[in-house]
Structures are given as C-alpha cells and as structure tokens.
Structure 1
Amino acid sequence: MNLQGIVAVSGKPGLWKALSQNKTGFILESLDAHKTKLVANLSTAKLAALDEITVFGYDDDIKLTDVFAKMKTAANVPDAKADGKKLRDFFKEVAPDHDEEKVYASDMKKIVSWFHILKDLPFFNEEPATEAPAAEEAAPAADGTKPAVAVKKTVATTAPKAVTKQPAPKATAKPKATAKPRRAE
C-alpha cells in the first residue's frame, strides 16, 4: 500500500492528501467525496504522515502500514462505532503484540475509521515508491582486493516528514513620531 503523502490533521476529521507546499504550510485535499481543499499552516496545525505512524507495542512499535496490511486480510473489520471490547478483540487479531495499556479505544476507532476511508482508494492497493536499487556487491578483483562499493541513493519524497517550527517573522520598526513633544517650562 502506498500511503506516501497521506496525512491526518489535528482538529480536522478524516484524511488528507498533500498536494503541494507553500511557504506557510501544505495545501491539502480531503479524501472524501467533497474533495475539500485546506491550507494547513505549520505554525498552528499538526500533521501526521500515515506512513510514519506507529502503534505502541510491548517490545517494538508496530507500523501502521503493517496493521493496515493485516486488516486487509482480516475476515471482517468492525465498524469504527463498535464498542471498545469488540475493537480490542479485533486489534488482538491484527496487532497481537500491541500494548493494551497505551493503545486506547479512541486510537483503535481512529485507525479503523482510517482503514474504511482508505480501503476503496486505488493507491491503497498499490506498492509504495521504492528507493533506487542498491548496487550489487562486486566480485573481488583478480588480485584479491575488493573494488569500491557504490553508495546507495535514496529517492526524495514530497510527503511532510515532520512539522518543523518556522522562524518568527522579523519585527517591523515602529513609525517615528513626526512632531517632537514640547517640553513643559
């Protein structure tokens, strides 16, 4: 599944696709039928890229993409409005080593609702853009020395990686008074 560029915005329901970036934030489009546009200002909105979200686990955190992959193969995914016990049982099936004390029912409802939004979209079933293929390790030269190995190149992404704090705008100088105040005599 290719979740690159799909974000959740704090305070806004649903999921959003990052279309482009401007100097103040990101231009987003909702994934629902309305295709609402939104300019998310980085100084006020918090964005979370779905391909970087993890779920608390006992040993290691579980990637959200792994949870979605198991949800795709699950027999029946409950509705997001199901009770907490039903969601907990479902999460024990798709993420058996999630930390039950740290993963709340509200988190599970949000993940299930995101799954229901994404499951019918075409990019949900396609593979993510992969990095450039790594160079094969070359065979040793005839004299027994190993040749230099090429450096692995990575592909730049356009998805928001993290919310960074923008520098504060420069303060403007106050206008000077045109007339000097009179001194009392």
Structure 2
Amino acid sequence: MNLQGIVAVSGKPGLWRALAQNKTGYVLESLDAQKTKLIVNLSTAKLAALSEITIFGVDDDIKLIDVFEEMKSAASIPDTKADGKKLRTFFFEVAPDHDEEKVYASDMKKVISWYQLLKDLPLFNEPDPTQAPVAEAEAAPVAEAPVAEEKAAEPIVAEAPKAKAKKVATKKA
C-alpha cells in the first residue's frame, strides 16, 4: 500500500495529496471528486502523513497501514454513522490490540472514512516504495547474480565536460 504523499490536515475534512512544496508550506489537492487545491502554511496548519500515523495499542502502537491491510480482508465494514458498539467490535477484528480507553469512536470513524476514500484509488493497491527494494532483494534468484556482476565489470567511459574558453581583452598598441 503506497500512502506516500497522502496527508490529513487539521481543521480540514478528508485526505489530501501533496503536490508541491514552497518556502512556507505545501500545495495540496483533495482526494475527493472535486480535486480542490489548497495552499497550506506550515506555521498555521498541522499536517499528518498517513504513512506515519499510528493507533494506540495495549503493548505497542499499531501502524495505520496495518489496520488498512486488515480492513481489506474484512467481510463487511460498518458505516461511519454506526453506533459505537458496532465500531468497537469491528475495530477488535481489524486491530485486536488497540487500547479501548485511548481509541475513541471519533477516531474509529475517521479511520473508516479514510479507508472509504482510499480503497478505490490505484495507489491503495500499489506496493510501498520504501519496502519494495527490500522485498525484491530477498526474492532475487541466485542465478541472476553472475549476470549482474558481468554488467558491472564492463568499463564505463564518460566524457569530461569541455571547458569554455575565456575571452581575454587585449590592448592594441
């Protein structure tokens, strides 16, 4: 799941994709159908990257990405307007180690609404780019190693950049 560049902005509903960065903040685009653009000043707004968000757990904190992965395989996802008991039982299915006292119904509703926004996007099914190289390195067959060494043994010839000639002013006598 590739959630790089997806953020939640305090005081703004929904999720946003970071498009660009300027001196004072970020240019964001909403993930909903309107594709609203927003310029966020870092001195006045708080941004939270979804890839970094965790949920309070009994022993250790639970990554939001892990909860989303469990939600993919869940049989049915309750509506965000469901009562607290339904949300709590669902959350025990997808995050059994979450702390009941610290995770409120509003937090569960927010996670479910974020999941509803993200589940149809192509980035939701993409592999995480930070973990992909590790998985590829472990899955690489041994037979491919000599081929890579042969390619590395070939010399690489690069041209040196040409120096520009300086114009020198000469005095005529």
Q: TM-score, normalised by structure 1?
A: 0.71
Show the 5 A alignment for 1:38-49: 38-49=38-49
Measure the CA separation in 1 of the matches of 2:26 and 2:84.
34
- Displacement of 1:135 after TM fit? 8.5
- Displacement of 1:28 after TM fit? 0.2
Q: Deviations over 1:9-59 (max 9, x none)?
A: 000000000001000100000000000000010000000000000000000
> For residue 27 of structure 2, what is the amino acid of its counterpart?
I
Measure the CA separation in 1 of the matches of 2:137 and 2:106.
44
Structure-1 residue corresponding to 2:29: 29
Q: Deviations over 1:115-151 (max 9, x none)?
A: 0000000000110113655999xxxxxxxxxxxxxxx
- In structure 2, relative to structure 1, the CA distance for the partners of 1:108 and 1:135 (3 Å cut) is closer
> For residue 22 of structure 1, what is the amino acid of its counterpart?
N
Structure-1 residue corresponding to 2:51: 51
Q: TM-score, normalised by structure 2?
A: 0.76
- Displacement of 1:85 after TM fit? 0.6
Q: Does residue 5 of structure 1 match 2:31?
A: no
Show the 5 A alignment for 1:82-161: 82-130=82-130, 132=133
- Displacement of 1:81 after TM fit? 1.1
Q: Deviations over 1:146-171 (max 9, x none)?
A: xxxxxxxxxxxxxxxxxxxxxxxxxx
- Displacement of 1:80 after TM fit? 1.0
Q: Tell me, what secondary structure is at the counterpart of 1:7?
A: strand
> For residue 129 of structure 2, what is the amino acid of its counterpart?
A
Q: Tell me, what secondary structure is at the counterpart of 1:126?
A: coil
Measure the CA separation in 1 of the matches of 2:101 and 2:30.
32
Structure number with the bigger relative contact order (C-alpha 8 A, sep ≥ 6) is 1
Structure-2 residue corresponding to 1:66: 66
Pairs aligned (count): 136
Measure the CA separation in 1 of the matches of 2:64 and 2:50.
7
The structure with more helix, counted as a fraction of residues: 2
> For residue 56 of structure 1, what is the amino acid of its counterpart?
F
> For residue 55 of structure 2, what is the amino acid of its counterpart?
V
> For residue 130 of structure 1, what is the amino acid of its counterpart?
T
Measure the CA separation in 1 of the matches of 2:80 and 2:16.
18
Measure the CA separation in 1 of the matches of 2:97 and 2:83.
21
Question: Where does structure 2 lack aligned partners over 5 or more consecutive residues?
Answer: 139-173
Percent identity for Structure 1 against Structure 2: 76
Q: Tell me, what secondary structure is at the counterpart of 1:23?
A: coil
Q: Deviations over 1:86-123 (max 9, x none)?
A: 00000000000100000000000000000000000000
Runs of 4 or more, structure 1, over 2 Å off, are: 130-136
Measure the CA separation in 1 of the matches of 2:3 and 2:81.
24
